[in-house]
Structure 1
C-alpha cells in the first residue's frame, strides 16, 4: 500500500514573547507573555525569533488548542532558559485568537506575517490551518499546525506548510494493526462525516489499512457534523453486525454517538482517533465511553518517561493535570523548531523550510520525530489508549509501519 504523509507543522510569522507561563489578553484578542530576562536573554545576546500563533482559543476547537497553547508557553520558557532556539534565538510568541473560524484564521495569519513572524503555528484543525497557511506560503514563512491531523493539509497549502503531529492516515495504522492482530477483529463498520477533512478521512484510511491486513469493511455510513443524531446510522450498524466500529468523530458528536449506541443495546467495540482525547469525553459520555480504544500522542505513564516528566511540569506550572495529549505535542514542536534552526544555520524562510523537510530522528517528548521522506508530516510514535472504568488506560505505544500508511484522500 502506498504511503504518503502530510505535515501540518507551520512556521509562518509569529511575534509572541513567551519565556514564562504568565500571560495577559488585550482587547484585540492578542495574547503575549513577557520575554525572559537575565540569564536567558544574556545567553542569546538579545537575538530573537518571532513565532506567530494563530490559535483557536475560543469556539469549538478551543478544547484542543487551549491545552496545546498552555503547554507551548511552558516549552518555550524552558527553551528560552536554555538560550533559545539553537542556543541563540530567544523565542517571541505573538498569539491571536482565530475563534475557530476559517475567515478569521486567514485574517489573523496575515496580520502575524505582516508583523514579522518568521515561523507560524496554525490551529489544531486542517480547515482553519489551510486558511492560515496561505499568507505564510506567499511570504515564504514556514508554517506548522500545532495539532491538526488531516494528511491533506500540507498539499492544500504548499511547500511551506508542515504538520507537528502525525497525520490521521499515519495514526490509524497502529489502530488497525491492534484491531486485526491483537483483538482478532475481522469485520469493521466505518462511520464518517464528509463535512470536515478530519472526520471524513480517518475512517476511510482505517478501512484501507484494515483491509490490507486481511480484514473486511462490511458497512459505512455518513453523519452530519455536530448534528448529534445517530439513530439511522445505528440501525445500519446493527444490521451489519461488525466486529468493530471505527469513527473519527469528536465531541460533542462522539459522546452523543456512544450514548445512543449503548442505549440501543449495541455493545460492538468502538475505535477512534486523537480527537477522542479531550476532557469532555468522560464527562459527556460517561459509562458509554468504556471500551473505546483510540490513538493519541502520549500518556504520562512509566512506559513514556519523558511524557510523564512533562506532565508533572505542566501540573506544577498550571495547577492542572494535562487536559489532553495535545499537551505533549507542544514540547515536540519546540524540539523540531530547535533542530530546524540549528540545521538551517539562520532564520531564512527557504532555509528553514528545507531544514524542516530534512529532519531525522529528532528527540522529542513523545519519542523520535522524522520528517525526511514523509512529505512534511512526521513519522513518530502513536499511543493507544482504552477507556476503562471511566478513565484512560495505557495500551501500547507503536511506530506506524511506513509501508502501511495510505496516500491522502484526494480532493
Structure 2
C-alpha cells in the first residue's frame, strides 16, 4: 500500500513538472520576429506611390521569410501611413520607436516626410533607409541614415550632363515643382548646366496641387527652347506633358526620376511618347530577380512596377542583408555593416557602395517612352560628374 502511495506521489510530481515545463515553453516563442518599421503615404494625393511601395516591401519580406528569414528569425513589417506629411511622419516615427520597439526602418515616402522623420530616428539610434526621398537633409540628420536613390542635386547634375553632352541640346526651359524634391533636383541641374554649355532660357514653378499649366505652357512656347526639363511626380507630369504637346511644343521633354511610372504614360496618353525619364530603372535588364519581381508585382497590383516599387524592394533586401552581415539586429552593428556595403545587387542595378554621408554611388539609367512603353536610353557612368556631397 505504501509503495502505491509513493508511486502515485512520484507520478504527480512528474506530471506537475511536465506541465510547468510546457507552460514555460508556450510562453517563450521558438523564434522571435525581427521588426522592420515601414512608413509610406497610403492615403492622400501620394497614395499611388505609397501603395506601390507597400506592395514591394511586403513582397521583399515574404521572399526573405520564404528563404528562411535571417539569423534564424522571421521578418515582421510594421507599417504606418505618413500621408506624405511632415507631422504624420514624426508622429508615426515616434509610434514605431515607443510603442513598437522598432530599431530598423525603411522609409518608403517622399522628401518632406523623410526629412521630418530622420532626426527622430537618429536621436533614438534607429537605422533608417530612405528608399526614394531625395532631399539632402535626410542623410545629414546623422550616421544612422542611409539613402538608396540618387540625391536630388546629383540627379539634376546628371541630367545636365545628359542633355548637354548626350543629346547635344543647348537652350532649355525649366519647370519645377515647388517642393523639396522638385527644388533640390532642379538646383543640381541649374548649378551644373553651365559646365555643358546649356543656356537656361527661363525658369517656371508650380505647386503639387496644380493640374492646369496654361500660363507656363504659353510662356515656354514663347521661349522657343530646344528642350524642356521638368521635375515632378507622375500625377503632375502627365497633365503637364499632355498640355505642352497640345500647345504644339514638339521639342524633347526630359523628366525627373519621379516621372517613372506606368501611370505617367496612362495619364499623358500619346503625348508621353518620346519623353526622357532620368534615373529610371531598366525594366528589360536581363536579371532573373528583376523579371520575377516584375511579374509578381504586376500580378498583385494589376499594373507594372515603377521606380518607387523597385527601390523599396531593394531597400528592404539591403537592410536584411545588413543584419545578416552584422550577424545581429543591433542597430549600431547593422549601421556599420550597411556603411561597408560593396557591390550589392539591387533591382535597379549594382550598388557600388555608400559615401561618408551614406549616399549611394552607382550609375544613373535613363529611359525614353517608345510605343507607349519604357525603353532604355542609356546609362550615365561618369560617377564623378554627379558625385554626392561628403558633408
TM-score range, shorter chain: 0.7 to 0.9
Are the counterparts in 2 of residues 137 and 161 from structure 1 also a CA contact under 8 Å? yes
The structural deviation recorded for 1:254 is 1.6
Per the alignment, residue 150 of structure 2 pairs with 166
Are the counterparts in 1 of residues 39 and 109 from structure 2 also a CA contact under 8 Å? no
Per the alignment, residue 40 of structure 2 pairs with 55
After alignment, is 377-386 or 230-239 more displaced? 230-239
Structure 2: which 5+ runs fail to align? 1-28
Instruction: For 1:239 and 1:70, locate their aligned partners in 2 and report how far apart those are by CA, in whole Å.
Output: 43
Instruction: For 1:57 and 1:375, locate their aligned partners in 2 and report how far apart those are by CA, in whole Å.
Output: 29
Instruction: For 2:301 and 2:223, locate their aligned partners in 1 and report how far apart those are by CA, in whole Å.
Output: 47
Per the alignment, residue 19 of structure 2 pairs with none
Q: Per the alignment, do residues 341 and 310 of structure 1 end up closer, same or farther by CA in structure 2, a change over 3 Å counting?
A: same
The structural deviation recorded for 1:337 is 1.2
Q: Per the alignment, do residues 282 and 403 of structure 1 end up closer, same or farther by CA in structure 2, a change over 3 Å counting?
A: closer
Q: Which one of the candidate residues 335, 345, 356 is aligned to 2:327?
A: 345
Instruction: For 1:82 and 1:65, locate their aligned partners in 2 and report how far apart those are by CA, in whole Å.
Output: 26
Quick check: 1:146 aligned with 2:131? yes
Quick check: 1:175 aligned with 2:137? no
Deviations 1:322-373 (A, max 9, x none): 3312222133213321332234332222222232223222122222214432
Q: Which one of the candidate residues 281, 284, 297 is aligned to 1:301?
A: 284
Are the counterparts in 2 of residues 106 and 134 from structure 1 also a CA contact under 8 Å? no
The structural deviation recorded for 1:183 is 1.7
Per the alignment, residue 24 of structure 1 pairs with none
The structural deviation recorded for 1:94 is 0.8
Structure with the largest fraction of helix: 2
Per the alignment, residue 405 of structure 1 pairs with 387
Per the alignment, residue 8 of structure 1 pairs with none
Quick check: 1:104 aligned with 2:88? yes
Per the alignment, residue 129 of structure 1 pairs with 114
Q: Per the alignment, do residues 294 and 328 of structure 1 end up closer, same or farther by CA in structure 2, a change over 3 Å counting?
A: same
Per the alignment, residue 221 of structure 2 pairs with 238
Are the counterparts in 2 of residues 202 and 247 from structure 1 also a CA contact under 8 Å? no
Q: Matched residue of 1:136: which SS?
A: helix
Instruction: For 1:319 and 1:111, locate their aligned partners in 2 and report how far apart those are by CA, in whole Å.
Output: 28
Following superposition, which runs of at least 4 residues in structure 1 exceed 6 angstroms of deviation?
A: none
Are the counterparts in 2 of residues 306 and 366 from structure 1 also a CA contact under 8 Å? no
Are the counterparts in 2 of residues 54 and 132 from structure 1 also a CA contact under 8 Å? no
Q: Which one of the candidate residues 33, 39, 64 is aligned to 1:79?
A: 64
Quick check: 1:385 aligned with 2:367? yes
Q: Per the alignment, do residues 58 and 346 of structure 1 end up closer, same or farther by CA in structure 2, a change over 3 Å counting?
A: same
Q: Matched residue of 1:252: which SS?
A: helix
The structural deviation recorded for 1:303 is 4.6
After alignment, is 108-117 or 388-397 more displaced? 388-397
Instruction: For 1:359 and 1:323, locate their aligned partners in 2 and report how far apart those are by CA, in whole Å.
Output: 26
Q: Per the alignment, do residues 297 and 391 of structure 1 end up closer, same or farther by CA in structure 2, a change over 3 Å counting?
A: closer
Instruction: For 1:97 and 1:180, locate their aligned partners in 2 and report how far apart those are by CA, in whole Å.
Output: 40
The normalised TM-score by structure 1 is 0.80
Quick check: 1:333 aligned with 2:315? yes
Are the counterparts in 2 of residues 144 and 164 from structure 1 also a CA contact under 8 Å? yes
Q: Matched residue of 2:211: which SS?
A: coil
The structural deviation recorded for 1:293 is 0.4
Alignment of 1:146-295 (within 5 A): 146-155=131-140, 157-194=141-178, 196-295=179-278
The normalised TM-score by structure 2 is 0.84
Instruction: For 1:339 and 1:172, locate their aligned partners in 2 and report how far apart those are by CA, in whole Å.
Output: 30
Are the counterparts in 1 of residues 257 and 280 from structure 2 also a CA contact under 8 Å? yes
Structure 1: which 5+ runs fail to align? 1-43
The structural deviation recorded for 1:149 is 2.3
Deviations 1:122-151 (A, max 9, x none): 232011112222321121001122222223
Per the alignment, residue 38 of structure 1 pairs with none
Q: Which has the higher contact order (CA 8 A, sep 6+)?
A: 1
Deviations 1:283-318 (A, max 9, x none): 2211222221002442331455542232123345x2
Are the counterparts in 2 of residues 173 and 400 from structure 1 also a CA contact under 8 Å? no
Are the counterparts in 1 of residues 55 and 301 from structure 2 also a CA contact under 8 Å? no
The structural deviation recorded for 1:51 is 0.6
Instruction: For 2:38 and 2:50, locate their aligned partners in 1 and report how far apart those are by CA, in whole Å.
Output: 11
The structural deviation recorded for 1:406 is 6.1
